[in-house]
Amino acid sequence: MRILTAILGALFILQSCQDQPRIGPDGDLSAFSYYPIAYELEEPSRFVKMQAFEDNPLTKAGVALGRQLFYDPILSRDSTRSCSSCHLQAFGFSDTMQVSLGIENRKGKRNAIALTNLGYHYTQFFWDGRVASLEEQALIPVEDSLELGNSWEEVEEILRKHPTYPVDFRAAFGIENIAEIDRHLVARALAQFERTFVSADSKFDQVLKGEATLTPAEERGRLIFFDESEVLPSGECAHCHVGPLLTTLTFFNNGLDNTDGALVDVGQESVTGNVFDRGKFKTPSLRNIALTAPYMHDGRFTSLEEVIEQYNKGGHYSKNESPNIRPLGLQDQDKADLIAFLHTLTDTSYLERAELSNPFVH
């Protein structure tokens, strides 16, 4: 009886295996089903509504594929680095390096910008705003010799020959043949995943929803941050770091250097060619700012104390320095309270959200 059961079981497994769809001759994927299911993203009510992204709508399979690609070092030339090497969830999808390291520990040019609420960034990505969409952004690090150091031709070839990715691309985008796997589909998948990076549950968010209260120090810091007190000094922070995203998404010269002369990194000028954009960089979000040291586009400051001290001094004059950068007159208690408030912007749930985590780690 046992023998009969074993034989029947083996036959069942064999039959099941034979029923599994396979990639057909010449890379035909049509045996695999394609039923795109919309990914329902929960949008915080205080946020400006996210664009529809009609050319790349979020689907469950698309987001899942983007998640794999984000964490998979397969995109790098020597399979050592992935997007997640510089954008670690534990640090608000930033890293702890002054500037990012690429393959062979090659030193990058700028600090890894923290990734939060990217679906609400309607234009101009990177510190210098050189691309207009997440889909365009995702194309660049793969071929940057200081980052993943690969070529898209190589990546496309590897993905087409991969044992599982072709089926995943089929599920995500309905392609009929592995030959259709290309850089643009990789970028679309990465963009879909990154648009699910919604962070809206910090202590400050909870306060705004009436679910928590700030300590006296935090509240004092909030008043300084938003310039809402007639008696406390203004931090002038909210000119640039405002709204639910805690950034205006615009570009400023924040007075780090005198930018009227030569400059190591000219920022937005390198994109626009406009001398009045020299030394301007995209205003980063302050969400999870306590976790994303070091700070500034070049990671020059190792602590929030150093950042606040810089702003308190009023910056270095340049023709296009934002006039909102001015000596603040903050005293030690003001600085400490401001930092206490900045810590309320940490969203621990974002750092622990399973669906944003590395799918290759169980």
CB of 128 to another protein, least distance (A): 17
- Residue given tokens 């993943």 in the structure block: 148
Q: Which is closer to another protein, CB of 148 or CB of 223?
A: 223
DSSP state of 180: G
CB of 48 to another protein, least distance (A): 5
Q: Which is closer to another protein, CB of 48 or CB of 212?
A: 48
Nearest of 160, 156, 166, 175 to residue 30 by alpha carbon? 175
Secondary structure class of 355 (helix, strand, coil): helix
b vs e for 318-339, b when ≥16 Cβ sit within 10 Å of the residue's Cβ? bebbbebbeebebeeebbebbb
CB of 13 to another protein, least distance (A): 53
Q: Which is closer to another protein, CB of 21 or CB of 329?
A: 329
CB of 327 to another protein, least distance (A): 10
**Cis status, amide bond into 294, omega within 30 of 0:** yes
Query: Residue 222 in contact with residue 286, Cβ under 8 Å?
Result: no
CB of 133 to another protein, least distance (A): 13
Q: Which is closer to another protein, CB of 74 or CB of 238?
A: 238
Secondary structure class of 189 (helix, strand, coil): helix
Locate 27 and state its tokens: 């890379």
Q: Where are the alpha helices (DSSP H) in 174-320?
A: 183-194, 203-208, 216-226, 269-272, 304-313
CB of 49 to another protein, least distance (A): 5
Query: Residue 201 in contact with residue 189, Cβ under 8 Å?
Result: no
CB of 342 to another protein, least distance (A): 17
Residues that bind another protein (CB under 8 A): 45-49, 51, 120, 122, 226-228, 230, 234, 239-240, 242-245, 248, 250, 274, 276, 317, 319-326
For 282, the enclosing helix (H) or strand (E) is: strand 281-282
DSSP state of 25: G
Q: Which is closer to another protein, CB of 230 or CB of 332?
A: 230
Q: Which is closer to another protein, CB of 60 or CB of 239?
A: 239
Nearest of 320, 315, 324 to residue 275 by alpha carbon? 320
CB of 323 to another protein, least distance (A): 4
Nearest of 191, 62, 195 to residue 139 by alpha carbon? 191
Q: Which is closer to another protein, CB of 167 or CB of 256?
A: 256
Q: Which residues contact 180 (CB under 8 A, 6 or more apart)?
A: 169, 173
Q: Which is closer to another protein, CB of 31 or CB of 41?
A: 41
